[in-house]
């Protein structure tokens, strides 16, 4: 799972927090990476952030750009939570 982000975008910082927690829950079944967009290309439209790209066996299986459009709720620190369950 790749998070294409910019640290100046508040939704990206929030997504990083949630992905950090999620990574703790499901490692080693999945690997998480952060990729700062400005290191890849001179300019990405911040309207597309936060962007999540999912790959399996080297093939893209999901492109959630921006991922916030895939939620039924407003994406903020109080409306989105991630919790781990013990196995």
Per-residue pLDDT, averaged over 64-71, amounts to: 67
pLDDT in tens, 15-54: 888 888 888 887 777 888 898 887 876 667 777 788 888 8
Strand order through the sheet with 51-56: 33-36, 2-5, 51-56, 59-64
65 pLDDT exceeds 80?
no
2 pLDDT exceeds 70?
yes
Cα–Cα dist 83/72, whole Å: 18
Q: Are strands 59-64 and 51-56 parallel, antiparallel or unpaired?
A: antiparallel
Q: What is the model's pLDDT at position 55?
A: 92
């Amino acid at each position: 799972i790749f998070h294409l982000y910019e640290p100046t975008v508040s939704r990206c910082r929030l997504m990083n927090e949630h992905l950090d927690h999620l990574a703790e829950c499901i490692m080693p079944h999945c690997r998480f990476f952060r990729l700062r967009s400005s290191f890849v290309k001179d300019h990405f439209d911040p309207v597309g952030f936060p962007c999540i790209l999912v790959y399996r066996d080297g093939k893209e299986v999901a492109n959630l750009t921006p991922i916030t459009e895939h939620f039924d709720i407003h994406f903020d620190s109080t409306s989105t939570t991630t919790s781990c369950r013990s196995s």
